[in-house]
Amino acid sequence: MPKYRQAVFALPYAKTKNGIEYILLKRKLHWVGWEFTKGGIEKGEKKEETARRELREETGRRALKIKRFNFSGKYKYNKKFPTRHGMIGQTFTLFAGEVKKGPVKISRKEHSRHKWVDFSQAIKMLKFADQRKSLRIVNSWLMHGRKN
């Protein structure tokens, strides 16, 4: 039976005088391109705990608020990863985490740099459709207060 790694998408944002800004990370481990925070659920961990931990580990920022969205999915990896033995892909549940805008301390093992960007920049930078859809959901909620 094919196995999928259980994970979360944890989209970090800040409310600034210029509007909403998002942290995007330049991925270098497994593939190269822009993404937001994501990561695998550890044994015994709840999804919200994973979202908070991944935000802190990958950006150095602490989530002031965390919101779970009614959006999830799964995707297959395009190659095998030695660190993910037996896994053919990953599932995800979407979260957003409000952080204070400030210095970002990236995980150098996974990412080469970061950028604070607005929605219009972020949507162009994200490589994968499920991440662009996630950004649209979070941005719509932030702009219009829509329930999800």
The confidence score (pLDDT) of residue 122 equals: 97
Judged by average pLDDT, the poorest of 21-35, 44-58, 73-87, 118-132 is: 73-87
| Boundaries of every domain in the chain | 3-144
CB 8 within 8 A of CB 35: no
CB 37 within 8 A of CB 55: yes
Q: How far apart are CA 128 and CA 76, in angstroms?
A: 12
Q: How far apart are CA 92 and CA 103, in angstroms?
A: 27
Beta pairing class for 38-40 and 65-76: unpaired
Phi, psi of 53 (to 5 degrees): -65, -45
The residue type found at 99 is V
Q: Which CATH number fits domain 3-144: 3.30.365.10, 3.20.20.120, 3.90.79.10, 3.40.50.300?
A: 3.90.79.10
The confidence score (pLDDT) of residue 109 equals: 81
The confidence score (pLDDT) of residue 84 equals: 63
More reliable by pLDDT, 27 or 43 = 43
The confidence score (pLDDT) of residue 23 equals: 96
Alpha carbon distance, N-terminus to C-terminus of the chain: 32
Task: Tell me the pTM.
Answer: 0.87
